[in-house]
Chains A and B, each alone.
Chain A
Amino acid sequence: MESEYREDILGGFIPHIQKPDRKWYATVFVLLAIIGVGLFAFVYQLYKGQIVTGMRDNVVLGVYTVNFIFFMGLSYAGALIGGIFHIGGFSWGRPMLRMLEIVTITSLIVGPIFILVCIGRPERFLNLFFYARIQSPIIWDVIAIVSDLFFCVVYLHFTYIRDFAKLRDYPNLNIANWRKKFYKIMALGYNDTKAQQRLLHQAQNIMAAIIIPTAIIAYSLLAWLFGMNQRPGWNNSIFAPYFVLSAVYSGIALIIIIMWIYRKVYKLEQCIKKEHFDFLGYTLLLLALFYGYFSFSEYITEWYNSAKTSSILLAKFWDFSEYGFMFMFSNFFAAILPIIVIGIPQFRSIKSIVITSGLIVFALWLKRYLIVIPSLETPYIPIQDERLEWVFYSATWVEWALTLAGIAFFVLAFVVMSKIAPIVNVSEMEEKSKGLKFFYKTRK
């Protein structure tokens, strides 16, 4: 039994690493084309001014900010879940660790790009460092993102070191010379000695322990970017835990999707089993309950105290000509559907879990939209304007193009990273572990 998972896992990945096939090139080409359209939209926006977006003086933040929150949520989720898996020694989670780390890093890069796109003068971006005012929640966020990115890159590298060393030592690897050099440098002279093993293990533990609180702090700070404002719908004490929770929620849902895709593409049925989907599905179920509870708590307090502007805002959520459908959709798919699909064993299968995860990710994106835009459309002084685009926000093609480009960049990172090293942490998978043995023995 043991040999089943200890088979030469790296060997299975070597063909993927050695030479990209035509399919790979086609994927990269399509993704680059989408990113190209996004770049064109960005240049167009720079040239014409932000008048080409749907943003106006009342709704000053749009889909860009929604994407920013969304991707930052994914990144913190990756860091948080990865750290918990590592520290907690959940050996069944090992095949997911690398995916989690890549999700973290990639979205940590994509997220802030949306802020760059959103601000009026991107060329003054460095002012955030030169003239930083520590009193501003935005600067808290800048500090949090930069340190989180740093810690995550270090941690990701630590998790790669042993695989890089293996690839460096792999006989007859048919790859370009620069890549061999790359592996040699990135392996940092790791030779799998006892001392090195211990050192690396300790270093990983420390980084994982740092990453967990950093992720929680960073996402709370992002929540306070909104929560600190005096604005109905934003000024809410539940925002920080709510954001952290929905980040983990969307992160796990996304990991399920990525796991499923890789399982199909790389035939990883021996590493990623139905149990993985089930286990993560149970986590989704638990998070769905919490998410529903938090949402209910958020809305019921605002509804019951019925302050004027809050009532106007909530009325928009119930009005099907405004945000009614979005509100129903986001709450049904994020808070209720997982309980039905995963909670009832008859409905629970890999496919249903993956589809539910997709709906959850989308519903949580909508939830961020519902946090940002309706609140901006409901200021204390009711908007009085004859220009409809000044009253209601609707994203333009420029914003959608850049959104798609962001998603394409995210996918591209995965496609490229899977060529650099195996998408599953081979060394950890091959490592002897009682828990892992137990997992693969009993759950077949």
Chain B
Amino acid sequence: MSKDEHKNESSRRDFLKSGFAFGIGTLFTGGLFSSCSETTAKVTISDENVEKIKLLTTDGQIVEIDKSKACPISPCEPPVGDEARKGIPGRKFVMVIDLARCANAGKCTSACQLGHNLTPDQEFMRVYLMKDHEYTDPYWFPKNCYHCDNPSCVKVCPVGATFKRDDGVVLVDAETCIGCKFCVSACPYSARVFNWTEDWSKPEVDIEFSPETSIPRIPGTVSKCDFCPDMSRQGKLPHCVTGCPMGAIYFGDANEDTICNGVETLRFKQTIKDKAGYRYLEELGTLPRVYYLPPVDRQFPYERGFEKLTDEQKLRYKNISDNS
């Protein structure tokens, strides 16, 4: 075998490999999220002259169904106005955060701030240091909006600017919001931030506001974590999930029973069942869509979370770190 042949062979193998990976990738994302391209489904004509389409199920089987029964594929562009009040069809988004893995790297916060063009003052995703009682070790506790199924914020909004969608997401329409801030005080999880000023760190791009991206932020209105449905529409994971170097944050769809942290994909219900997943302040009856896996069998001591912090940032966790 000549060198050239060998080269050809190896490049062919590479090509096959990458092709295979690409195929798996598309299958996977196609399964997890509505893919944007409409070419994924093949149209065949059956005997009864009813249009059928082939689709991939979550357990990897290809099935044929009537085209009329298939859900329409959602558009890629984040919708604006009233269109944003409809959820992505067939989805029920959930998030699972594994507390055993969080080391307060702060990457979820910064990735989110980058993705949503936030100022350093605004954190949709915040990392708290928690200590349940004197015998437990403190643990890091990332907290975003819980997208509750019984949301206190939506209840009190006088103008319907914040709303709950079919896909489980709670969003803010900053174009209707009057900035009364009663949703901020109603939220028991301190999830909401207010746009106090117009002095943004970066100039806002001149695009129409979409509740799905929370961009551009409108001064005098309320913002919060939006679960990045715009990313889901593109078949991608939210900024905080991909930002986390520990893979502590899983995001997925309860209808498909799948959650993914960008590296591994798990069954949602089984994970919650096996690892005793819980929801924070369950007793308030808000029914959050964010679950926590308890901080057991930790991969590192909590002190590692302090290593990269400046002295000023360490002040934030003074109430816990002083007592332990």
Contact = CB atoms under 8 A, between A and B. Distances in A.
A125 interface: yes
A49 B160 contact: no
B180 A133 contact: no
Interface string A19-60: 000000000000000000000000000001111000111101
A119 B186 contact: no
Contact of B184 (A57, A119, A381): A57
- Chain B CB within 10 A, most for which of A58, A61, A381: A381
A87 interface: no
A40 B316 CA distance: 36
Contacts of A137: 156
A225 B281 CA distance: 22
Interface residue tally on A, bucketed by range: 35 or more
Interface in A272-322: none
A382 B319 CA distance: 9
A90 interface: no
Interface string B104-135: 00000000000000000100001011000000
B180 A230 contact: no
B158 A138 contact: yes
B189 interface: yes
Given A133-B158, A229-B156, A127 B190 contact: no
A373 B312 CA distance: 26
Contacts of A124: 176-179
B234 to A, nearest CB: 30
A230 B150 CA distance: 12
Given A50-B194, A50-B220, A125-B178, A133 B185 contact: no
Interface in A124-179: 124-125, 127-128, 130-133, 135-139, 142
B74 interface: no
B159 A229 contact: no
Nearest to B196: A51
Interface string B183-205: 01110111011111111000000
B294 interface: no
Given A49-B196, A60-B194, A138-B180, A381 B143 contact: yes
A105 B104 CA distance: 55
A119 B179 contact: yes
B189 A135 contact: no
- Chain B CB within 10 A, most for which of A124, A137, A383, A387: A124
Interface string A47-88: 011110001111011000000000000000000000000000
Nearest to B312: A386
A132 B158 contact: yes
Contacts of A125: 178
B184 A60 contact: yes
A229 B185 contact: yes
A176 to B, nearest CB: 41
B178 A127 contact: yes
A380 B194 contact: no
A48 B181 contact: no
A120 B159 contact: no
Contact of B317 (A138, A376, A384): A384
B179 A120 contact: yes
B190 A381 contact: yes
A64 to B, nearest CB: 10
A102 B314 CA distance: 55
B15 interface: no
Contact of A120 (B219, B316, B320): B219
A376 B128 contact: no
B156 A50 contact: no
A376 B219 contact: no
A128 to B, nearest CB: 6
A133 B157 contact: yes
A136 B156 contact: yes
Contacts of A121: 177-179, 218, 220-221
Contacts of B193: 57
A358 interface: no
A225 B185 CA distance: 11
A226 to B, nearest CB: 8
Interface in A99-135: 115, 118-121, 124-125, 127-128, 130-133, 135
B219 A133 contact: no
A381 B316 CA distance: 13
A228 B221 contact: no
A129 to B, nearest CB: 9
B319 A228 contact: no
Interface in A382-434: 382-387
Nearest to B309: A386
B63 interface: no
A379 interface: yes
Interface in B142-190: 143, 152, 155-161, 176-182, 184-186, 188-190
Given A115-B180, A229-B156, A386-B312, 20 more contacts: A48-B197, A50-B194, A51-B199, A55-B196, A119-B178, A119-B179, A119-B180, A120-B221, A124-B176, A128-B178, A131-B161, A133-B157, A133-B158, A137-B156, A138-B158, A138-B182, A380-B190, A381-B128, A384-B317, A386-B315
13 contacts: A50-B197, A55-B181, A61-B181, A120-B178, A120-B179, A120-B180, A127-B159, A131-B161, A229-B152, A229-B185, A376-B185, A386-B313, A386-B315
List the 4 closest pairs (A to B, CB-CB), nearest first.
Answer: A120-B179, A120-B220, A138-B158, A49-B197
Interface of B: 121, 126, 128-129, 143, 152, 155-161, 176-182, 184-186, 188-190, 192-199, 218-222, 281, 284, 286, 312-317, 319-320
